[in-house]
Structure 1
């Protein structure tokens, strides 16, 4: 079995050396980049399995790189950021990052987080051996991540798809924002709950015929969200 490739993006040579050393000891192949533009070039050429991304980068900042990785490449991302920068953390989770680690950090903890994110990604692929489901004009295929509304294809980011599939495959079940945060983003930080609200809004804009009057993704006031097909559909 081929070794999984991890791209480490940081403009600090010492951090790159330490992180790569620990990742290689754990059995990963490592790729490196020292700025945002180079990171995207490496992603195009090498197709890494995961990216460890510093936010403070020259040429193209980390948040812009993160957005491109998630929206265009659907690659798992672990963010590195300055300690105590809550805004970056919230922004990252809203974009759909898989994990977040504050600087200064333990390289071994980072390795464990890399392993955990890749296990989750692998587990998701295994669960996605399910057959495509069609409910009320909404078709979701977990194998190909194909989503169609009344036969028209819809493009979702990785986290938007995971959120939709969790709700779609558990009709009528109510999930609190905190439950969705834990299951989709694997975070238990209460300050990130608005991330769920933002993603539900974006998801509705893509799959609902009328986002103001949702046909599928219903708000359960005071609790959270559930998938339920309206009578009118």
Structure 2
């Protein structure tokens, strides 16, 4: 068993599910704390020392969507939504306002741990990134040293997952990237072939950088294969 330094906050009001998640985290060597309300979650986050949030949306005091919005006003802590809401529009809405990933109930311990390890890897990459490269494509610019994105010189807010996806395309301009390759690079090998998660993330990214997401200027779909960032 690996002992992780990261501290995970479990925000879940269903006692059985909370115990299940906490037991799984303990077995895998994660440090964790658990609360059963949105207010309790915000209080814990403000106190600090939280590295990852596992967030249920159906909380008793107010909706988990509001928690995401409030946290994103001042923090980039990775947020993994765990919810029974399985409609694509719900997932897109959560990712669009700042969640990093979305796991639908019911779920297996294996899938939960895979998603958590992905989030931890992204967190460590963000902390250790020391590159100073600035890449530009038409009106779109990415500053890899500061992890900032600009569209027509105006900063565009990106979730960590959206940033990782866009950075991957910038580093491979003109190349067709298969869905499998993108998933492995952004989420990790153990994530599998969840093309729906990729489509949802791509839709959110396009809404932020494309004037007309239906006719993308920057990242086009290569039907049946994957995606490509235009080089001309």
Q: TM-score, structure 1 length as denominator?
A: 0.72
Q: Deviations over 1:27-63 (max 9, x none)?
A: 3332222112321232222241111122321112233
Q: Given that residues 92 and 200 in structure 2 are in contact (C-alpha distance below 8 angstroms), is that contact kept between their aligned partners in structure 1?
A: no
Structure 2, unmatched stretches of 5+, are none
Name the structure 2 match of 1:114: 116
SS at match of 1:48: coil
Name the structure 2 match of 1:132: 133
Q: Given that residues 65 and 94 in structure 2 are in contact (C-alpha distance below 8 angstroms), is that contact kept between their aligned partners in structure 1?
A: no
SS at match of 1:159: helix
SS at match of 1:135: strand
SS at match of 2:105: strand
Alignment partners' CA distance in 2, 1:33 and 1:162:
30
Over 3 Å counting, the alpha-carbon distance change for 1:149 and 1:109 in structure 2 is closer
Bigger mean CA deviation after superposition, 62-71 or 128-137: 62-71
Aligned-pair Cα RMSD in Å:
3.6
SS at match of 1:56: coil
The structure with more radius of gyration:
1
Over 3 Å counting, the alpha-carbon distance change for 1:134 and 1:190 in structure 2 is closer
Over 3 Å counting, the alpha-carbon distance change for 1:151 and 1:21 in structure 2 is same
Bigger mean CA deviation after superposition, 13-22 or 168-177: 13-22
Q: Given that residues 173 and 227 in structure 1 are in contact (C-alpha distance below 8 angstroms), is that contact kept between their aligned partners in structure 2?
A: yes
Displacement of 1:71: 6.9
Alignment partners' CA distance in 2, 1:174 and 1:45:
44
Q: Given that residues 100 and 159 in structure 2 are in contact (C-alpha distance below 8 angstroms), is that contact kept between their aligned partners in structure 1?
A: no
Structure 1, unmatched stretches of 5+, are none
Name the structure 1 match of 2:194: 189
Name the structure 2 match of 1:154: 156
Q: TM-score, structure 2 length as denominator?
A: 0.73
Alignment partners' CA distance in 2, 1:104 and 1:157:
24
Name the structure 2 match of 1:100: 103
Displacement of 1:204: 1.6
